[in-house]
């Protein structure tokens, strides 16, 4: 059969949370810049929030081969704020499992594919699907309609590797384990033998029974990756090379093409497109913090943010408040409107914090994080170790204090302290004295040590996305493989 006259057409389907939509949109933009057509599927609620971000609309409008498609959330009601992060993820996951399949199939068939007879749209028939690596509902559809599928995992390679090894951990009796003995070493993950303790495993592994739904979900979804044509990771060889090599023994088609935000920035610069990069935020960014940063001395501010999902109690918030204030350092703190769990209404919150009256600090409900981390006033990042935040910090050479809460954050923070030596891991503690000490260590006492390591890592990260670098070559390989999938 003759090849289609259209460029390849990829359908991208992310899990509907900020930390997944953001890097998958960056991938979409990179593919569009390579001449590939893209249909990007969002749930209605994510699309509604994105459509308020006019930047995104105008950025993607410049690609005639790009379009957004929406699917219903399938949630009868908004997920209550009191739900824990893990619970929220499961509610969304279950809902998509039960509703997304027919709609996704319809979107693919409407564009034209082997088993569909419908009219070909101006984007051309679908060449392949790139689905979030926890959305096997897309794998089932792709297998049904006979279209190749690639997975994209938005978390670190280290966390994916651990998830892939879960059957072995269970077989060797290392999982499940009681919740209170977290310092026991974990021996049976190749490449991480002398690194891991139970507490460093991704949070979903902290189970006393393998029947826990989130554990089952991660276990089964990850194994299904072996049925795909390949896996795309937002990481780079120079930071996670040994682990990527382990994964390649099981998945030879592994494309490490990150850090995606920096990769995209480079491509746009090299194509001389007069479009500055802005974020893919689903929250409104409070840019006033950039003006505040302009008035602060270089490297004097610690940026504090726990990402888009983590929630905290008022007591935890109060410990951070005292730790930060007592450290004597300037701070810029993101406290999302939905980040405080309201099930401890009785707990007291400091007056100053409540009123936002702070001498050395500035609080916003959502920051333009990439711009903040690139600002010369920033000297450190107190982070929850989400993978996007970790990469954004690495690219800007900002040392980190890690306070991991869920998913891959526990293993990311272990790598930050033990392997890359880019900062301190505050895992499983939250105490004002420890916070104060760590902030002082990062910003003053051990500053030069961390800065030295951070600068070295930044150079490696930037080189990987420069022309001919490892991530750049892997992206070229990915584009080539997508082209060769065309029928
Ligand atoms: N982010 C932001 N402004 C904020 C906090 C976070 O733009 O005030 C962005 C951040 O740049 C990152 C994403 O939200 O790209 C969070 O992703 P990450 O993987 O770090 O954590 P998650 O939110 O998935 O837990």
pLDDT digits (tens, 9 = 90+) for 19-54: 999 999 999 999 999 999 999 999 998 999 998 888
Give the lowest-confidence range in 86-100, 223-237, 295-309, 451-465.
86-100
Active site annotation includes 20: yes
Say yes or no: CB of residue 19 within 6 Å of ligand 1: yes
Spatial contact of 384 and 310, defined as CB atoms under 8 Å apart = yes
Do the beta carbons of residue 66 and residue 38 sit within 8 Å?
A: yes
Task: Measure the CA angle with vertex 228, ends 227 and 234; round to 5°.
Answer: 130
In this structure, the residue with its CA closest to atom 6 of ligand 1 is 307
Q: What number of CA atoms fall less than 13 Å from residue 395's CA on the CB side? A: 29
The complex's ipTM? 1.00
For residue 468, the tally of other CB atoms under 10 A from its CB is 8
Q: Is the shortest distance between the CB of 305 and ligand 1 below 6 Å? A: yes
Long-range CB pairs of 93-98 (<8 Å, 24+ gap) are 93/15, 93/134, 93/217, 96/15, 96/16, 96/43, 96/135, 96/137, 97/137, 98/74
Rg (CA), the chain: 22
**CA-proximal residue: ligand 1, atom 2 (nearest):** 369
pLDDT recorded at residue 407: 95
User: Tens digit of pLDDT for each residue in 356-412?
Assistant: 567 889 999 999 999 999 999 999 999 999 999 999 999 999 999 999 999 999 999
pLDDT at 474: 98
Whether the Cβ atoms of residue 430 and residue 407 lie closer than 8 Å to each other: no
Catalytic residue chosen out of the listed positions 9, 37, 73, 132: 132
What is the pLDDT, as a whole number, of residue 88? 79
Q: How is residue 203 annotated by DSSP? A: G
Strand partners, 10: 38, 128
Indicate the SS3 state at residue 423.
Answer: strand
Closest-CA residue to 206 (of 409, 420, 6): 409
For the chain, the average pLDDT equals 91
| Atom nearest to 23 CA in ligand 1 | 15
Burial status of residue 1 (CB atoms within 10 A of its CB: 0-12, 13-18, 19 or more): exposed
Asked if 375 is an active-site residue, the reply is no
CB of 203 closer than 6 A to ligand 1?
A: no
Q: Is residue 339's pLDDT more than 90?
A: no
For residue 3, is pLDDT > 60?
no
Flag whether pLDDT at 133 surpasses 70.
Answer: yes
Interval 133-142 mean pLDDT: 97
pLDDT recorded at residue 264: 96
Q: How many CA atoms lie within 13 A of 208 on its CB side?
A: 5
Q: Is the CB of 281 under 6 A from ligand 1?
A: yes
User: Does residue 1 carry a pLDDT above 50?
Assistant: no
* Res. 346: pLDDT tops 70: no
Per-residue pLDDT tens digits for 248-285: 999 999 999 999 999 999 999 877 655 555 678 888 99
Mean pLDDT calculated for residue range 107-135: 81
Q: What is the DSSP letter of 66?
A: E
- Does the CB atom of residue 366 touch ligand 1 within 6 A? yes
Ligand 1 centroid from CA 281, angstroms? 8
Query: Taking residues 108-117, what's their average pLDDT?
Result: 71
pLDDT average, residue stretch 414-430: 98
The reported pLDDT for the residue numbered 122 is 78
Q: Indicate which residue of 20, 261, 263, 375 is catalytic.
A: 20
Residue predicted with more confidence, 59 or 74: 59
Contact 125, 249 (CB under 8 A): no
- pLDDT category of residue 87 using cuts at 50, 70 and 90: confident
**Cα 140 to Cα 47: distance, rounded to the nearest angstrom:** 24
What percent of the chain has pLDDT above 70? Answer: 90
In contact, 332 and 410? CB cutoff 8 Å: no
Query: What kind and span of H or E run contains 330?
Result: strand 330-334
* Alpha-carbon span 168 to 189, nearest angstrom: 8
Count Cα atoms within 13 angstroms, Cβ side, for 83: 13
Position 448 pLDDT exceeds 50: yes
The pLDDT confidence band at residue 349, using thresholds 50, 70 and 90, is: low
Per-residue model confidence (pLDDT) at position 397 = 98
Q: Atom 1 in ligand 1: which residue has the minimum CA distance? A: 369
Under DSSP, is residue 283 helix (H, G, I), strand (E, B) or coil?
Answer: coil
Ligand 1 pocket mutation, candidates 286, 307, 378, 400, criterion most atoms within 8 A of CB: 307
> Could you tell me if the CB of 409 is within 6 A of ligand 1?
no
Is 2's pLDDT higher than 90? no
Q: What is the pLDDT of residue 54?
A: 84
């Amino acid at each position: 059969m003759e090849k289609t006259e259209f460029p390849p057409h990829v359908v991208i389907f992310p899990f509907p949370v900020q930390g997944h939509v953001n890097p998958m949109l960056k991938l979409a933009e990179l593919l569009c810049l390579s001449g590939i057509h893209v249909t990007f599927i969002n749930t209605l609620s994510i699309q509604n929030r994105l459509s308020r971000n006019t930047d995104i609309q105008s950025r993607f409008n410049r690609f005639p081969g790009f379009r957004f498609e929406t699917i219903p959330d399938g949630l009868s009601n908004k997920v209550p704020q009191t739900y824990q992060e893990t619970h929220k993820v499961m509610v969304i996951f279950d809902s998509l499992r039960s509703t997304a399949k027919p709609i996704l199939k319809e979107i693919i068939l409407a564009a034209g594919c082997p088993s569909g007879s419908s009219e070909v749209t101006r984007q051309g028939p679908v060449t392949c699907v790139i689905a979030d690596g926890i959305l096997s509902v897309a794998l089932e559809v792709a297998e049904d309609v006979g279209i190749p599928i690639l997975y994209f995992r938005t978390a670190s390679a280290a966390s994916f590797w651990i998830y892939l090894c879960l059957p072995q951990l269970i077989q060797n009796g290392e999982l499940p384990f009681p919740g209170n003995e977290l310092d026991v070493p974990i021996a049976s993950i190749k490449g991480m033998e002398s690194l891991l303790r139970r507490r460093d495993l991704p949070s979903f592994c902290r189970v006393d029974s393998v029947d826990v739904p989130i554990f089952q979900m991660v276990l089964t979804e990850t194994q299904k990756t072996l049925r795909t044509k390949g896996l795309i990771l937002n990481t780079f060889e120079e930071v996670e090379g040994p682990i990527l090599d382990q994964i390649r023994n099981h998945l030879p088609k592994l494309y490490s093409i990150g850090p995606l935000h920096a990769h995209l920035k480079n491509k746009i610069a090299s194509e001389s497109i007069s479009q500055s990069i802005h974020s893919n935020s689903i929250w409104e960014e409070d840019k006033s913090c950039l003006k505040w940063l302009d008035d602060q001395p270089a490297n004097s501010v610690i940026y504090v943010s726990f990402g888009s999902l983590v929630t905290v109690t008022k007591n935890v918030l109060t410990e951070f408040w005292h730790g930060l204030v007592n450290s004597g350092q300037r701070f810029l703190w993101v406290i999302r409107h939905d980040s405080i769990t309201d099930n401890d209404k009785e707990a007291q919150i400091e007056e100053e914090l409540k009123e936002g009256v702070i001498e050395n600090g500035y609080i916003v409900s959502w920051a333009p994080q990439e711009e903040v981390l690139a600002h010369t006033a920033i000297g450190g990042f107190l982070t929850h170790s989400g993978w996007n935040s970790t990469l954004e910090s690495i690219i800007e050479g900002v040392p980190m204090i890690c306070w991991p809460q869920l998913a891959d954050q526990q293993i990311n923070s272990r790598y930050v302290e033990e392997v890359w030596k880019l900062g301190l891991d505050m895992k499983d503690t939250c105490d004002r004295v420890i916070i104060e000490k760590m902030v002082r260590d990062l910003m003053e006492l051990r500053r030069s040590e961390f800065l030295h390591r951070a600068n070295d890592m930044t150079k490696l990260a930037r080189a990987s996305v420069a022309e001919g670098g490892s991530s750049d070559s892997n992206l070229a390989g990915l584009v080539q493989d997508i082209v060769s999938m065309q029928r």
